[in-house]
Structure 1
Amino acid sequence: ANGFAGARTDAIARRAHVNERMIFYCFESKEGLYRAVLKQKLAAKAAMIESTPDKDFTSSLITGFDECCDDADSLRMWQWEALDKTNRKLVAEEERRAVLQSEVARWRRAKASGILPADADEEMLLLVSCALRVFPLILPQVVSLVTGMDPLDPEFRGRWTACLEWIGQRLLVPAVKSGDEPDGKEKGPVKARKQSPPRTAAGGGRH
């Protein structure tokens, strides 16, 4: 809720109904506790990436947005970290880099297999993907000003999911090789598949 700098172990202990000394016994320091939380989140993310090695870009956008909606606390941690101007070394920096690089490797393999265009920059592609997944949640006031809705509103989530699918289907259409002939099928707009009502994240009120 308050980021690493703003977190207080006495407040955490009260909320967890434990003696504050137990936090230091188990984790040694506030940073140790922070690292343990990140490690748990990173392990879940790494397992998801490993279990879906062939996930396409469009699906990764949609599921990534759903995951962010269901775990807004993690986004808040990253936002507090971005606002910290003390130049403190990132906690679990190498572990986080490894998870992100595994996503880059996924798009690199997709490019090598021809699923993605040969001129796609896999690192920039990951940044684009991250931006599309988190934007409504990190700037909810912009969503409200444009649509009049909260980003966790099921109606907005459905509309954003359809938009992500639309973007994904058009952003990375493999280039037609020289000499190839079109298949003759009509190339009209792709209709987004009907989405089931998204689950509203816990505490889904306006932030």
Structure 2
Amino acid sequence: MTTDIADTDRVDETGDAESGLRAGQRRVKQRDRTTKTRDDILLVAREEFAANGLSGARVDAIAERTRTSKRMIYYHFSSKEGLYLAVLEHAYADIRKVEAELRLADGDPVDAMRRLIGFTFDYDEANPDFIRLVTIENIHRASHMRQSSSLGRLNTSIIDTIAAILRRGQETGVFRREVDPIDLHMLISSFCFFRISNRHTFGHIFGRDLGEATMRGRHRVLLQDAVIALLRDPHAAGTAREGA
């Protein structure tokens, strides 16, 4: 009789374990579905906001393209503005994530700087919707960015990376002048950004196709060479001021 009770207990324990396992698997699947739904919404919303701006973007269109509902979108993001902010955060997180994968912390500082510049150039070229999103947020004077608790921290990584490359170059005598990392980031970003944001107006005025492969390659090397020359020449900034 005791054996029968023990066997019954083992069966109950096995059944409970299997039931718990199935419940856990269901939770994982549900979490995966929720994550996929959220990611799909962010992807489509990025395209919608980049194409039409915050005011022109339609949540109905996003819901239709993701085969979900406005109610589901608002469940995940609270509001249209909340979705827009999430898109901005996701966009910046993406570029910072790919930058981190370059592993520029060690090695030759000149090569590291060239690789960073090349990456920024190529990323902006391949992601014009990112440029449009940043332009749109500038129209709003970064009012939505200011509501984010993560964007400030998220973007310190690129400044830390540039600072580390500069410091390594100065320590080895390759870079002989001090440059503020944020200033250098602005210099690199502005050229890459301008090529995309002003491509059509600049191209029309000066008769240049900034998307043409040969010109694109020339501009990529031009920016790399210009930045390295600036970092290596301690008199570059002074000369520029004297000639102004």
- Give TM-score scaled by structure 2 length: 0.62
Q: For 1:84-163, what aligned pairs fall within 5 Å after superposition?
A: 84=140, 88-90=143-145, 93-113=148-168, 114=170, 116-140=175-199, 141-149=201-209, 151-163=210-222
Q: CA deviation at 1:131?
A: 0.4
2:85–2:144: 8 Å Cα contact kept in structure 1? no
What one-letter code is carried by the residue in structure 2 that aligns with 1:84? H
Q: Distance in 1 between matches of 2:118 and 2:226?
A: 11
Find the residue that maps to 1:88 and give its secondary structure: coil
- The CA RMSD measured in Å over matched residues stands at 2.6
Q: Distance in 1 between matches of 2:134 and 2:52?
A: 11
Find the residue that maps to 1:172 and give its secondary structure: helix
Structure 1 runs (4+) greater than 3 angstroms displaced: 91-94, 115-118
Please tell me whether Structure 1 or Structure 2 has the larger radius of gyration of its CA atoms.
Answer: 2
Q: CA deviation at 1:6?
A: 2.9
2:166–2:175: 8 Å Cα contact kept in structure 1? yes
Relative to structure 1, the CA distance from residue 53 to residue 148 in structure 2 (aligned partners, 3 Å threshold; closer, same or farther) is closer
Cross-structure match for 1:166? 225
Q: Distance in 2 between matches of 1:166 and 1:31?
A: 41
Cross-structure match for 1:41? 91
Q: CA deviation at 1:137?
A: 0.6
What one-letter code is carried by the residue in structure 2 that aligns with 1:72? P
1:2–1:80: 8 Å Cα contact kept in structure 2? no
Q: Distance in 1 between matches of 2:147 and 2:196?
A: 24
Greater share of helix: 2
1:107-132 CA distance string (max 9 Å, x none): 22223322544421111111111101
Q: Distance in 2 between matches of 1:128 and 1:63?
A: 14
Find the residue that maps to 2:145 and give its secondary structure: coil
Cross-structure match for 2:45? none
Q: Distance in 1 between matches of 2:191 and 2:77?
A: 35
Q: Distance in 1 between matches of 2:167 and 2:224?
A: 23
Q: For 1:65-80, what aligned pairs fall within 5 Å after superposition?
A: 65-80=121-136
Cross-structure match for 1:18? 68
Q: CA deviation at 1:158?
A: 1.7
Cross-structure match for 1:8? 58
Q: Distance in 1 between matches of 2:204 and 2:221?
A: 18
Question: Aligned residues: percent identity?
Answer: 24
Find the residue that maps to 1:45 and give its secondary structure: helix
Cross-structure match for 1:182? none
Q: Distance in 2 between matches of 1:110 and 1:155?
A: 29
* Equivalences, count: 174
- 95-104 or 135-144, which deviates more: 95-104
Structure with larger RCO (C-alpha < 8 A, sep 6+): 1
What one-letter code is carried by the residue in structure 1 that aligns with 2:198? L
1:62–1:161: 8 Å Cα contact kept in structure 2? yes
Q: Distance in 2 between matches of 1:71 and 1:131?
A: 15
What one-letter code is carried by the residue in structure 2 that aligns with 1:71? N
Q: Distance in 2 between matches of 1:59 and 1:155?
A: 19
